[in-house]
Homo-oligomer: A and B are copies of this chain.
Amino acid sequence: MVTIYDIAKQANVSAMTVSRVINNSGRISANTREKVKRIMQEMNYVPNSTARSLVKQETKMLSLLITDITNPFFTTLARGAEDAALKLGYKLLFGNSDENLSKEREYVDMVLSTRVDGLLFAPSSDASAEHLAMLRLHQIPFVLIDREVPGVEADMVLGDNRDGALRLTEHLISLGHKRIAFVNGSSTVSTARERSSGYREALLKHGIRYDPELVMECRFNHFDDSDLLDRILALSEPPTAIFAANNVLAVSVIACLRDKGIGVPEQMSVACFEDVGLASRLDPFLTVAVQPAYEFGYRGIQLLVDRINRKDGEERQVVRFPSEMIVRKSTGKPRQPSS
| Residues on the B chain within 8 Å of A51, using CB | 54
CB of A6 to closest CB in B, whole Å: 14
Q: Which of these, B47, B57, B79, contacts A113 with CB under 8 Å? A: B47
Q: Flag A22-62 by CB within 8 Å of B: 1 or 0 each.
A: 00000000000000000000001011111101100101000
Query: Which of the candidate stretches A12-20, A142-150, A231-239, A280-288 sits at the interface with the other chain?
Result: A280-288
Q: Which of these, B50, B277, B278, B285, contacts A50 with CB under 8 Å? A: B50
Main secondary structure of the interface of A (DSSP, over half): helix
Q: Write the chain B residue with the least CB distance to A51.
A: B54
Q: Is A304 located at the chain interface by the 8 A CB criterion?
A: no
Q: Is A226 located at the chain interface by the 8 A CB criterion?
A: no
Q: Flag A80-98 by CB within 8 Å of B: 1 or 0 each.
A: 0010001000011111100
User: What residues make up the interface of A, taking CB atoms closer than 8 Å to B?
Assistant: 1, 44, 46-51, 53-54, 57, 59, 69-70, 72, 75-76, 78-79, 82, 86, 91-96, 106, 109-110, 112-115, 137-138, 247-248, 251-252, 254-255, 276-279, 281-283, 285-286
20 additional A-B pairs beyond A70-B277, A82-B95, A91-B110, beta carbons within 8 Å, are: A1-B57, A46-B113, A48-B54, A48-B113, A49-B114, A51-B54, A69-B79, A69-B82, A70-B76, A72-B277, A79-B96, A82-B96, A92-B93, A248-B278, A251-B278, A254-B282, A276-B279, A277-B279, A282-B286, A283-B283
